[in-house]
Chains A and B, each alone.
Chain A
Amino acid sequence: MSDVDQAKLDQSLEHAFAQGQLPFCHDKQYRLKYSDRWLCSLSESELQRCPAFKQQCGVAIKPETDSDKGTGVHVASWVGGLAEGLFWILIAGLVVALVAALLRIRISRQSKDEVEDRNSLEPPLGEAPAAAVSGDKDVQRLLDKARRAAERGELGVAIDAAHAAAVQGLSATGHVEVDRDRTNGDYLRDLRKTPPLQQQFKAIVGHVEVAQFGGVTPTRGAFDQVLEQVMSLLRRLAVLSLWLVLVLGALGCGSRKSAEGEEVSPSGLYTLRRLLTDQGAKVHMRVAPLSKLDADVGVLLIYATEVEETERKHVLDWVRDGGSLVLVGNSDLPEAGEVEVSAQNCGHVAERGPNAGLAPLKLAVVGERTLRVTSKPESVVAQHVDATCGGSPYIVTSFLDDGQITFIPERELLSNVSLSVGDNARLVAELLFTPDSTIELVGPWTGDGSQSPVQSLKSAGLLPVMAQLLGLALLLAVRQGTSFGKRRDVHTLERRAFADHVRAVASNYARGNAGRLAAANYGLLLVDQLRERTCPGQRPTLLQLAAVVARRVRRPETEIVQLLVEAKTAFDDQIDGQGINHKLIRELEQLSLQAGGVS
């Protein structure tokens, strides 16, 4: 046990339990968690530094539902592996993209600067230099370009550049989509949902278009006006962006509150850390595994967590070499110190001692567990009882070679609420404080870190931030699209089956209500075919044709004459006809087949 500065300790306690530090301490409306109900036995203690705690214990504490716990999402192990892979791919991709972007910017800036310098040094004779604003997306560079051009007296170029800066600024903040086929009217229509921006941009466009297409020679005054309007627009965009970042940041910070909430809850360790820090100790929450302990670690406090078999040996070796281990609410290592935890109710009051050299201290404890010394006569392990409860050892220190292990059976002793009652804070400070050394807290947070990036993000309270970023990325993807997803071969020419062409032609005729025309043409084609097949190379009259066909198909000539005359009359005058004579067409087809086949 070390001596602690009582004045410092009191001051530290005063600050730790001051209004606004620990919510449960003064807020009577604070709702205790179901898992904290055991701590209510401490509310009976005479010395209470948290006035509201007793009242909170008087309210019935109900078990929490899953939604109350807000423990987040259960993550399957394979998701963790996948997420880890994606995480590193993402990091690698980002690094490559960053390097590529930096190189591109550098190259582009060099080449553009060279071009600009050349333009400024060698202005073309006879005509103003062309506006080199196309493709440049850097708002600041465009503004610089505008100012430089204005200084050179190239006011048209200057106005073009200022206009481009405004458009690119709007594009960078996702208000408009810039493309080479888009007009100022399109950008204004994009801004329909943000009327103030639309008005500002409309005013800019009005001046710019006069200079670009109005045949008016731009003046310095016109440029200054455009530039002022562009700057005003860009300032507004900057404010909007800042606001967005702040809102996102605030939403992200909000999620940290729950993590901090655990620390300042009645069962949290905020007070313990503060007491020890105020005394001058360095307190670390140990995240690294226990397989290797640094030389500067003075006290290792294992708080309510199991130590893996492989790590136990390291820890015990470290103790034997002079380390000081404190086991709190732990049932793993007691046999090494020849003590064991006993589930014996000892009441709610413990006392320091027996130790004649130290002032008596009265502790308020949960009292559900005590310790039992199991040392055998031949044992070389020396033991010292630091506190007793109901006559049983409550805190015991076992000395192993050059080091020592202090056993505390109940983790509640180190909780915020426990340190606010009785002399608990003083005893704990004396037990744990070692001048000029580091105290490492080992708990559920210690080990080999998170199993997956998702868990890691969750532990760090970054899941909401990542979710927001992902949401933002999705929104951008939806709005801007992905270049690799765009179809570029919209009008690829493909060879089609002949039947497709026939259908397409028929479909065209049908859509144009020209079915009658098509049928009539087909009918005339059939008559021509009959003529070609029966009288090749000649131009016979209908009567001559009928005579030849009748002979060939062996049908009465009058019948054929009647058919051909009907066909000729119907198809020649098809525009005023009343409908398609399908029967006539079928008869002609039949006749053509009989006379030599339809080709």
Chain B
Amino acid sequence: MNIEQASQALQRVAGEVGRVLIGQDELVEQVLIGLLARGHVLLEGVPGLGKTLLVKALGQTLGLSFRRIQFTPDLMPSDVTGSSVYNAKLSEFNFIPGPIFAQLVLADEVNRAPAKTQSSLLEAMQDRSVSSDGVTRSLPKPFLVIATQNPVESQGTYPLPEAQLDRFLLKLEIGYPGKAGELLLLKNYVAGFDSNKLEGFGQVLNEAQVLAMQDAVTQVRVADEILEYITNIVEKSRSHPAVALGASPRASIGLLAVSRAQALLRGRDFVVPDDVKSHAHGVLRHRLLLQPDAELEGTSPDACVDAILREVPVPKTVA
């Protein structure tokens, strides 16, 4: 599959998902980029914006298996990863895989489970394998976790620590679809659309093609100027006065990966500065720990990223 074919197929996927998830085209594209870059995505948004529908539709369009885990305070690590159950007939322990053994996993309200359970998920995300009873089992490929959390509700939640947030390649904020989008959405429902039934929803790609595209991303060319641009951005995040803890080298690698994935999505075999800049917020916003003073002033991580981007000149600037 060449770059152009890959780009066209991905556009078809985005278009197909966009048919049911109305007014969230940008989000669909960013989640696809996360998948191509072999990362995981943290979605932050109020309930009712179609997060579950997005993952379900994506799974169906890409021909990938899909599981949803609703995180609750009493959720145990074994509820996520699976556990060994004694088989009396065979007199042995059989491993029953948990919901993590799927290609697309929706970890809904990930901040509602205690830290131990969160850690079990995040370790699986990082290692792409699950260890239980001394046996390490690989997770299926491709593997993408889309975790969600509600930015408003804080009672009875266990916020993810910074170190664990770093495991997510992208943190995306979902907004409302807009008036026109919402109107179209209602019209869809009037016409009989049911988000629980996605029959007839077209499969555009299969597992092998998705894996081929993930491989194709690594072939996308990155000029030295672009590498320097990424380095400058990440470096600047560490010296920014409002930031106590800047982005890690993992952030640099992540920014590079999503930039390549975006280039592929756009049908290019090389990265341009706009690929980097347009994903800087998604990659950096959850990795910056702000100074208490900045917090006090109401500065947001996004505002810091904006300031950082303003200070770093793009390669080949004409200004």
Footprint of B on A, CB under 8 Å? 131, 133-135, 160, 163-164, 167-168, 178-186, 209-210, 212-215, 490-491, 493-494, 496, 500-501, 503-505, 507-508, 511-514, 575-576
Contacts and interface: CB of A to CB of B under 8 A. Distances in A.
B296 A500 contact: yes
Nearest to A177: B319
B84 interface: no
B295 interface: yes
A496 B293 contact: yes
B221 A181 contact: no
Contact of A180 (B115, B221, B313): B313
Contact of A178 (B277, B309, B311, B318): B318
B319 A182 contact: yes
Given A181-B310, A501-B292, A513-B159, 8 more contacts: A178-B318, A182-B314, A183-B273, A183-B277, A186-B277, A213-B226, A491-B240, A496-B296
Contacts of A511: 154, 295
Interface in B260-307: 268-274, 277-278, 292-293, 295-296, 307
Given A183-B272, A185-B274, A505 B292 contact: yes
B314 A181 contact: yes
6 contacts: A135-B319, A185-B277, A210-B270, A212-B315, A213-B225, A213-B315
B96 interface: no
B223 A493 contact: no
A178 B293 contact: no
Contacts of A134: 317-319
A181 B296 contact: no
Interface of B: 114-115, 154, 157-159, 221, 223, 225-226, 240-242, 268-274, 277-278, 292-293, 295-296, 307, 309-319
Contacts of B241: 491, 493
Given A501-B292, A512-B159, A213 B223 contact: yes
Contact of B313 (A160, A181, A505): A181
A201 B269 CA distance: 20
A135 B272 CA distance: 21
Contacts of A513: 154, 157-159
Contact of A214 (B270, B273, B292, B317): B270
Contacts of B311: 181
Nearest to A168: B318
Nearest to A492: B241
B155 to A, nearest CB: 8
Which among B223, B270, B277, B318 has the greatest number of chain A C-beta atoms within 10 A? B318
B259 to A, nearest CB: 11
A133 B274 CA distance: 19
A184 B316 CA distance: 10
Contacts of A575: 114-115
A508 B318 contact: no
Closest 8 CB pairs of A and B: A185-B274, A504-B292, A164-B318, A183-B274, A180-B313, A180-B319, A491-B241, A214-B270
Contacts of A178: 318-319
A27 to B, nearest CB: 51
A184 B274 contact: yes
Which among B114, B273, B312 has the greatest number of chain A C-beta atoms within 10 A? B273
Contacts of A503: 296
A158 to B, nearest CB: 13
Contacts of A212: 223, 225, 272, 315-316
A493 B159 CA distance: 29
B313 A490 contact: no
B272 A133 contact: no
Given A134-B317, A215-B270, A504 B295 contact: yes
Contacts of B225: 212-213
B150 to A, nearest CB: 12
Nearest to A181: B310
A485 B296 CA distance: 25
Contact of A504 (B278, B296, B314): B296
Contacts of A185: 272-274, 277-278
Contacts of B154: 511, 513
A133 B319 CA distance: 8
Contact of A491 (B159, B242, B292, B309): B242
Contact of B316 (A160, A493, A496, A512): A160
Which among B226, B271, B278, B316 has the greatest number of chain A C-beta atoms within 10 A? B316
Contacts of A512: 159
A576 B114 contact: yes
A590 to B, nearest CB: 30
A408 B159 CA distance: 98
A500 B221 CA distance: 49
A490 B296 CA distance: 14
A391 to B, nearest CB: 84
Contacts of B315: 212-213
B319 A179 contact: yes
A159 B58 CA distance: 41
B28 to A, nearest CB: 19
A213 B272 contact: yes
B309 to A, nearest CB: 6
Contacts of A514: 159
A214 B319 contact: no
Contact of A186 (B158, B274, B313): B274
B229 to A, nearest CB: 10
A166 to B, nearest CB: 9
B161 to A, nearest CB: 9
Contacts of B269: 214
B79 to A, nearest CB: 17
Which among A182, A183, A491, A513 has the greatest number of chain B C-beta atoms within 10 A? A183
